[in-house]
Amino acid sequence: MTRRDVFQAISDPTRREIIGLLTKQPLNLNAVADNFDVSRPAISKHMKILTECGLVIIKQKGRERYCEAKLDKLNEVSVWIEKYKEFWNQKLDALENYLEEIKLKES
């Protein structure tokens, strides 16, 4: 079985859109599929990836299965982005300081 992670889940625009829909309210699979111009099996594949990654959970309510967004897994993405944000902020600050030094030397 392929190991799935949250980065793989959000790499696809359709899956990001599905997550967006489910943040507003839980929906059954048909209601999710009605928002897209792709086949229901294609939506099912996207849902499978989202559930394997832990971004969507499916709950049985009577005869219906409702999909709900579970966004705490997105913290992994936030932490990863923050690490690189700090890295680039340090680099840009260093560049700014260097350019200021050059400017002072030229004055």
Condensed to tens digits (0 to 9), the pLDDT of residues 40-51 reads 999 999 999 999
**pLDDT digits over 13-23, tens only?**
999 999 999 99
Percent of the chain residues past pLDDT 90, beyond the cut: 67
Identify the DSSP state of 4. Answer: -
Strand partners, 67: 27, 58
Is position 66 within any domain? yes
Question: What pLDDT score does 10 carry?
Answer: 93
Identify the DSSP state of 63. Answer: T
Contact 59, 68 (CB under 8 A): yes
CA–CA gap between residue 107 and residue 81 (Å, rounded): 39
CATH code of 58's domain: 1.10.10.10
For residues 72-101, average pLDDT: 90
Identify the DSSP state of 28. Answer: E
Question: What pLDDT score does 3 carry?
Answer: 67
Is position 78 within any domain? no
pTM of the model: 0.73
Q: Which domain range does residue 49 map to?
A: 6-71
Which spans in 1-107 are helix H? Answer: 6-10, 13-24, 29-33, 40-52, 75-106
Is position 106 within any domain? no
Tell me the pLDDT band of 52, cut-offs 50, 70 and 90.
very high
| SS3 category, 37 | coil
Domain count, the chain: 1
CA–CA gap between residue 70 and residue 50 (Å, rounded): 10
Is position 48 within any domain? yes
Instruction: Please choose, from the candidates 2, 6, 14, the residue with its C-alpha nearest in 3D space to the C-alpha of residue 76.
Output: 6
Res 107 pLDDT > 80:
no
Is position 45 within any domain? yes
